[in-house]
Amino acid sequence: MDAFAVRTVGLIKRYGRLLALDALDLAVPAGSVFGFLGPNGAGKSTTIRLLLGMARPTAGYARIFGTDAQDVRVTHRSLAYVPADVALWPQLTGAETLELLGRTGPGVDRGYRDELVERFALDVSKPGRTYSTGNRQKVALVAAFATRAPLLVFDEPTSGLDPLMEREFQHAVAQARERGQTVFLSSHQLAEVESVCDRVAILRAGKLVEVADVANLRRLHRSQVEVTFAGTAPQLDGVPGVEAVERVGPTRLRFTLTGPPAPALRGLATADVTALTIHEPTLEEIFLDYYDEVSR
Ligand SMILES: Nc1ncnc2c1ncn2[C@@H]1O[C@H](COP(=O)(O)OP(=O)(O)OP(=O)(O)O)[C@@H](O)[C@H]1O
């Protein structure tokens, strides 16, 4: 099997004059949990439609475990998908829906499915028409997580879930990872991406602005450092990575730090530092930084 669960090369999608995806190159290693972030209209759903073979690329290609995404008879044997707006059959109960979905997908772990029904507190005896948005989402999530599909594709999967259920979702993603499944997770929920994903791609106006490990992404970005000292202030002029040095009191200063902290620590060692706090950026701050940069 291909080492990449998802691979796109020069993937372009135009809708008339609108360039929805602009030469997207993505490589999602099998077994990883991959976050796909972007503001409204960035092209996330378009990408997912192309991955599922529900739309044709204008140029370039997308592959699922090495098979062209347009070859849906093959690719859908190895993937399960939960859309942003889940529609269910109004006349079927949750249990009947799970059965139906189980028969069309790549195979189901029934024991695990029953466990998930409990964990997601889903009443599967009710007909689909009576389910709320969140409950419809839960049915689709349970159906997808219970499959043995090596690739799970989620488009904004927790938008209708309450915080408790979001936790269950995150737990189920962790279990999928333990089983070696790959998870492709499109999301607005930065905290969710931060807590479950290994890697994250940031998309804006159809273009990738970054692909990085979640941990590296933090390291590459600015941290806020605050230093308290006794006596003379530390000498930080011209220290690599140190910017925006600001005195915030007679014995305190603040600065931003990018990259490795060693030069800044050497600079700080020139003074009698009595306290030091480093605030690492949240994914949200990093995300906003990217938007600022690109829109500037
Ligand atoms: N069928 C279509 N016809 C015309 N334009 C479309 C079509 N589908 C999407 N678009 C446009 O393509 C761009 C990307 O849309 P897409 O739905 O992929 O974004 P998204 O990142 O999923 O946004 P959201 O988070 O709001 O769902 C948008 O400008 C959208 O208006």
What is the pLDDT tens value at each position of the chain, 296 positions in all? 578 999 999 999 999 999 999 999 999 999 999 999 888 888 999 999 999 999 999 999 999 999 999 999 999 999 999 988 888 888 999 999 998 888 877 789 999 999 999 999 999 999 999 999 999 999 999 999 999 899 999 998 888 888 889 999 999 999 999 999 999 999 877 778 878 999 999 898 899 988 888 777 766 677 889 999 999 999 999 999 999 999 999 999 999 998 888 999 999 999 999 999 988 776 667 777 766 665 55
Ligand 1 pocket, residue 48 CB under 6 Å: no
Report the DSSP beta bridge partners of residue 186: 36, 155
Give the global pTM: 0.80
Any atom of ligand 1 within 6 Å of the Cβ of 18? yes
CA-to-CA distance for 165 and 119, rounded, in angstroms?
8
Alpha helices of 105-257 — where are they, by DSSP H?
110-119, 133-145, 163-178, 190-196, 214-220
Query: Both ends of the chain: CA-CA distance in Å?
Result: 43
4-214 homologous superfamily? P-loop containing nucleotide triphosphate hydrolases (3.40.50.300)
Tell me the CA–centroid distance for residue 76 and ligand 1, in Å.
23
CA distance 177 to 150: 10
Strand order in the sheet with 59-64: 18-29, 4-15, 59-64, 67-68
- Please give the structure tokens belonging to residue 75: 């690719």
Class of domain 222-280 as given by CATH: alpha beta
- pLDDT number for residue 216: 74
203 C-alpha vs ligand 1 centroid, how far in Å?
12
Is the CB of 43 inside a 6 Å radius of any atom of ligand 1?
Answer: yes
Question: What's the 3 CA to ligand 1 centre distance in angstroms?
Answer: 29
In the chain, ranges of CATH 3.40.50.300 domains? 4-214
Helices 133-145, 163-178: crossing angle, 10 deg rounding: 10
- Does the beta carbon of 87 lie inside 6 Å of ligand 1? no
Residue pair 86/161 in contact (Cβ under 8 Å)? The answer is no
CA of 290 to the centre of ligand 1 (A): 20
In short, whether 186's Cβ falls inside 6 Å of ligand 1 is: no
Look at residues 24, 19, 60 and name the one whose alpha carbon lies nearest to residue 210: 24
Q: Which of 44, 159, 184, 209 most suits a substitution to test ligand 1, by most atoms within 8 Å of the C-beta?
A: 44
Q: How far is CA 113 from the centre of its chain?
A: 24
Number of H helices, E strands in the chain: 10, 14
Residue nearest to atom 5 of ligand 1 (CA): 15
Q: Which CB contacts under 8 angstroms, 24+ apart, belong to 64-73? A: 64/5, 64/6, 64/151, 65/1, 65/2, 65/4, 65/5, 65/30, 65/150, 65/151, 66/1, 66/2, 66/4, 66/7
pLDDT at 172: 96
- In the reported structure, the alpha carbon of residue 159 is separated from the centroid of ligand 1 by a whole-number distance in angstroms of 17
**262 alpha carbon to ligand 1 midpoint, in Å?**
44
Which residue lies with its CA nearest to atom 24 of ligand 1? 40
Predicted confidence at residue 158, as pLDDT, reads 85
41 lines ligand 1 (CB under 6 A): yes
Backbone dihedral region for residue 63 (phi beyond 0: left; psi -120 to 50: alpha; all else: beta): beta
Phi–psi pair at 126, nearest 5 degrees: -90, 150
Q: For the sheet containing 272-279, what is the strand order?
A: 242-249, 252-257, 223-230, 272-279
Whole-number Å distance, alpha carbon 62 to ligand 1 midpoint, is: 18
User: What is the identity of the amino acid at 66?
Assistant: G
Q: Is the CB–ligand 1 distance for residue 42 below 6 Å?
A: yes
Every domain range in the chain assigned CATH 3.30.70: 222-280
Cβ neighbours of residue 108 closer than 8 Å, sequence gap 6 or more: 102, 146, 147, 148
